[in-house]
Chains A and B, each alone.
Chain A
């Protein structure tokens, strides 16, 4: 399977909102409500931020939200904070996993 398509980078000032898109096909993103998002700081393991398109695990701030329309899923970070600067990956599960290409979020 081909990797899901994400923008290479997005940026925003503290307090602003940024949205990361994740585009797949009807065989993955569009076909199932099993999209998850991961945050990865340099040198660290990824951390689950959103699962099942829009659900947040306990402990994840409600500034993080997810949605999906057709073959494209999105992660929105509201009220951007310095610690949100990281790489973000989407992932679709359809019997196997396919990850997105990754997006670097920069806090200006």
Chain B
């Protein structure tokens, strides 16, 4: 079955950096768009970024543009999120997520359990 396992979260000071990883299994990773979606404590869902199956198409939310970088390694079935210049408002659970179908990534079919990133001095 589809499994998405995030790692790399933790406590970081404002202005610091962190790299999240997501290990995927149970499906052909290289076929699917992948996303990072976050949820601040007690708040709603916020899409962060997505990357196409080949990595050629990438989009970011305005709130992270220029600070975060999404990437993938299809040979390792892994998704990454490099987060730089972190701010207190980036504190959230970060979910790795897979598009539901291959052709159009219009819905998120599978979610990991999330990894908590806390930005605080």
| A102 touches B (CB below 8 Å) | yes
| A45 touches B (CB below 8 Å) | yes
- A89-B44, A96-B50, A98-B47 known; A45-B35 Cβ under 8 A: no
| B75 touches A (CB below 8 Å) | no
* Main secondary structure on A side of the interface with B: strand
Using C-beta atoms within 8 Å of the partner chain, give the interface range for chain B: 20 to 34
Question: Contact partner of A45 among B50, B107, B114, CB < 8 A?
Answer: B114
* Main secondary structure on B side of the interface with A: strand
Closest CB-CB distance, A5 to chain B, in whole Å? Answer: 12
| B45 touches A (CB below 8 Å) | yes
Which residues of chain A have a CB within 8 Å of any CB of chain B?
Answer: 3, 32, 34, 36, 38, 40, 45-48, 51-52, 57, 89, 91, 93, 95-102
